[in-house]
Amino acid sequence: MFAPYRDVLRTPGAPSFTGAGFVGRLPISMISLGIVLLETSKGVSYGVAGTIAASFAVAAAIGGPVVSGFVDRHGQHRILPFAVAAYTVFMVALLVSLDMGSSLWLVIPLAVGAGMMMPNFGSLVRARWAYVLPGSDGIHVAYAWESILDEVVFVIGPPLATVLALQVHPTAALIVCVLLVLIGTTWLVPQRRTEPAPHGKSKRVGRPAILQPGMPLVFVAFVFIGGIFGSFEVVTVAFAQEQNATSATGVLLAIYAFGSLLAGFAYGAMASPEFHGRRMTLMLSVMAVVTLGFPLAPNVAVLAPVALLAGLSVSPVLISGTALVERIVPNAQLTEGITWTSTGMALGLAIAAPVSGVIIDSRGAHVAYLVTAGCALAACAA
Q: How confident is the model at residue 271 (pLDDT cuts 50, 70, 90)?
A: low
- Alpha-carbon distance of 72 to 85, in angstroms, equals 19
Query: What's the pLDDT score for residue 88?
Result: 97
Among 8, 231, 223, 35, residue whose Cα is nearest residue 126? 8
12-66 per-position pLDDT tens digit:
999 999 999 999 999 988 888 788 888 878 887 767 787 888 888 889 888 988 8
Statement: residue 306 has pLDDT above 90: yes
137-157 per-position pLDDT tens digit:
788 788 888 888 887 887 788
Statement: residue 96 has pLDDT above 90: yes
Instruction: State the Cα torsion 33-37-40-44 to the nearest 10°.
Output: -50
Q: Of all residues in the chain, what percent carry a pLDDT higher than 90?
A: 37
64-77 per-position pLDDT tens digit:
888 988 998 899 99
pTM as predicted: 0.78
Name the range with the highest mean pLDDT among 156-160, 257-261, 273-277.
Answer: 257-261
Mean pLDDT throughout 164-179?
Answer: 92
Mean residue pLDDT across the chain: 86
Domains of the chain (ranges; CATH) run 15-203 (1.20.1250.20), 205-382 (1.20.1250.20)
Q: How confident is the model at residue 202 (pLDDT cuts 50, 70, 90)?
A: very low
Q: How confident is the model at residue 206 (pLDDT cuts 50, 70, 90)?
A: low
Among 43, 62, 35, residue whose Cα is nearest residue 117? 62
3-state SS track over 321-363: HHHHHHHHCCHHHHHHHHHHHHHHHHHHHHHHHHHHHHHHHHH
Backbone angles phi, psi at 37, to 5 degrees: -65, -40
Statement: residue 201 has pLDDT above 70: no
- Alpha-carbon distance of 381 to 315, in angstroms, equals 19
Radius of gyration from C-alpha coordinates of the chain? 20
